[in-house]
Chains A and B, each alone.
Chain A
Amino acid sequence: MPSHLIGKDAFQEADIVGITRPITKHNFLVRDVKDLAMTIKMAFYLASTGKPGPVLVDIPKDIIANKCAFEYPETVEMRGYKPNYHGHSSQIKKAAEKLRNAKRPVLYVGGGVIMSGGTKELALLAKENNLPVTMTLQGLGAFPGTDDLSLGMLGMHGTYWANMAVNNCDVLVSLGARFDDRVTGKVDKFAVDAYKIHVDIDPAAIDKNVVVDLPIVGDVKHVIAELAAEMSSAPHINDWWDQINAWKDECPMDYEDNDGLLRTEMVIEKLSERTKGEAVIVTDVGQHQMWTAQYYKYAHPRSNLTSGGLGTMGFSVPAAIGAYFARPDQPIISISGDGGFQMNIQELITAAAYKLPIKFIIINNSFLGMVRQWQELFHAEKFSFTDLSASNPDFVKVAEAMGCVAYATDDPKEIDNMFDKAFAVTDRPVVLEFKVVKENMVFPMVPAGGALSDMMVKRLNPKLM
């Protein structure tokens, strides 16, 4: 739209700067072509520094068409924006002292460690000191899931032993995580006995959800490196590891696998064994997302792409296309439910048009599975509007019509064969439909608003199986 029409309710006018204000890190309206270069420079600077985040630049049509001498600024100076990268060294020394003397420490790792590029530093800190590491959904990949020190994911659908460890630890070190409600459960019952250390680049994250004992504001990569350097001796925590392993034995991650029915867990486990973490896994939102988080062993940072905090269904299909262009050297595997897959199903055409060898997995349980799970558990088994069995299309036909190769199965014995066929195709997208058990549920589960210690490990009403 040209600038002179702004505010006139012109054709296709929407106050995009106003609309995006609460969902961007910052936004700009460019009002003079002379400001364009500086605005773009500032936008990239803001988006990529401090706590990274999206920045929107609204450029009216006439400003795009106007001309001026191009001069791209070398540097930017913003009086109101000075991210602090280096944590306070006395705070870091104090953290190291607490950690050295801990009897039951846990490292609680979020996506910030990946964003800051601090995964090597994390591995060093954890391994040299034999520290248990648990990760948030966005933190998966920050530390190898196959490592003995990994407790897997924590929180609502985290492992029993990770949640028990966090809830019973004496020193909790949060690294680039924000104490999200899906992680903490009921906050006043969260890790009550722990001395809490919170490392975050965003000062506003400190004490926002959980009041901590020792805040360290800085870039988590730098802080972890300094913390590791301060660890002159490792804590003595053999008893603690025994306890964690006992929890692991008490409630391992397992599922019914000898009734001949296909289950999501099997598909994810097979995928994990097959790719050995050498793939980019792009999930959608729902049960399949949680099962992937539980059963896929991520080996590398940035191999786990998922819509976490916002949980927007429809994310996986287009995000996988983006992932391909960023990492054409890696197998790109999109995993969606039958519900979310249909939210951006049209992008299969884009993937086919560009001949992208992406593997699109549909976990088809004929339900909006995660909502169905809540209906069963918390809403008196009222399964309103979640049964898709009558309306789902024939996914194989749709995919083929859109230029993809497609296969479907409901047989656990066919999983390997499906993957063999899919990986043999290199010049087109492949859609793999796994028709899984309809009423399966994700466990363990901390009910929303419950404490981590209130984990449910099994289904209440086995009749519904």
Chain B
Amino acid sequence: MKRTISVVLENRFGAFNRISTLFSGKGFNLHSITIGETEVPGISRMTLVTTGEDKVFDQIVKQLNRLIDTIKVVDLSKEHAVARELALITVHYKKGNRSEITELCRLFEGKVVDINNKTLMFEITGPSDKIDAAINSLAPYGIKEMARSGAIALKRGEQERQLATKQLINHS
């Protein structure tokens, strides 16, 4: 089962490397990893998608917590969370099927971001399974190239329990 973990960490030299080294060193699966800044300077948020049995997953969370640069680890699989991926997909078109393809793309709320006389590039965002479905639907037309981001995710708002990164830091 895929699990999503959100890690709030110090934006220090080597912090990212430390996490990827942890995954390779311990033999944990890593499906995707994304990292970016947060609303607090000096603090990054990393979203990891991994697969593994409960016991392994429990170790992953503990080992992430153990790293010195890690401020907070949240298992988003246990929470109500919003997870999104972004994909850029370049598809071949022929004279007759351009509007068919763009129509299909619209079903997935995609946008055309580039076009030339042979190919169309779409931008599609959404949860992982929606991106999968879009790719599957576009595949028969011939995908020339594709780039897909890992997931980024945040816990959904709860009236009281929702903590901003700033508060997380004070609480940890």
User: Would you call B27 an interface residue if the criterion is a C-beta within 8 Å of the partner chain's C-beta atoms?
Assistant: no
Tell me, in angstroms, the Cα distance from A22 to B17 when the chains sit together. 11
Q: Which of A13-72 contact B (CB under 8 A)?
A: 17-18, 21-22, 25-27, 29, 31, 46
User: Would you call B10 an interface residue if the criterion is a C-beta within 8 Å of the partner chain's C-beta atoms?
Assistant: yes
User: Would you call A460 an interface residue if the criterion is a C-beta within 8 Å of the partner chain's C-beta atoms?
Assistant: no
Binds B, one of A74-82, A347-355, A357-365: A74-82
A21 contacts which of B21, B63, B71 (Cβ < 8 Å)? B21
Q: Which of B69-84 contact A (CB under 8 A)?
A: 69-71
Query: In the complex, which residue of chain B has the Cβ closest to the Cβ of A31?
Result: B13
User: Would you call A208 an interface residue if the criterion is a C-beta within 8 Å of the partner chain's C-beta atoms?
Assistant: yes
A80 with B10: CB separation less than 8 A: yes
Known: A78-B68, A79-B172. A203 touches B62 (CB 8 A): yes
A-B contacts counted at CB < 8 A amount to 46
User: Would you call A424 an interface residue if the criterion is a C-beta within 8 Å of the partner chain's C-beta atoms?
Assistant: no
B residues in contact with A376, CB < 8 Å: none
A residues in contact with B9, CB < 8 Å: 80
B residues in contact with A25, CB < 8 Å: 68
Known: A26-B68, A203-B66, A207-B55. A21 touches B10 (CB 8 A): no
Range for the number of chain A residues in contact with chain B? 20 to 34
Q: Is the interface of A mostly helix, strand, loop or mixed?
A: loop
B13 with A203: CB separation less than 8 A: no
A204 with B59: CB separation less than 8 A: yes
User: Would you call A226 an interface residue if the criterion is a C-beta within 8 Å of the partner chain's C-beta atoms?
Assistant: no
User: Would you call A410 an interface residue if the criterion is a C-beta within 8 Å of the partner chain's C-beta atoms?
Assistant: no
User: Would you call A202 an interface residue if the criterion is a C-beta within 8 Å of the partner chain's C-beta atoms?
Assistant: yes
A82 with B66: CB separation less than 8 A: no
B70 with A80: CB separation less than 8 A: yes
A residues in contact with B34, CB < 8 Å: none
A21 with B169: CB separation less than 8 A: no
Task: Give the distance to chain A from B10, nearest Cβ to Cβ, in Å.
Answer: 6
Query: In the complex, which residue of chain A has the Cβ closest to the Cβ of B169?
Result: A79
Query: In the complex, which residue of chain B has the Cβ closest to the Cβ of A206?
Result: B62
A residues in contact with B63, CB < 8 Å: 204
Binding site for A on B (CB under 8 A): 9-10, 13-14, 17-18, 21, 25, 55, 58-59, 62-63, 65-71, 169, 172
Binding site for B on A (CB under 8 A): 17-18, 21-22, 25-27, 29, 31, 46, 78-82, 202-204, 206-208, 211
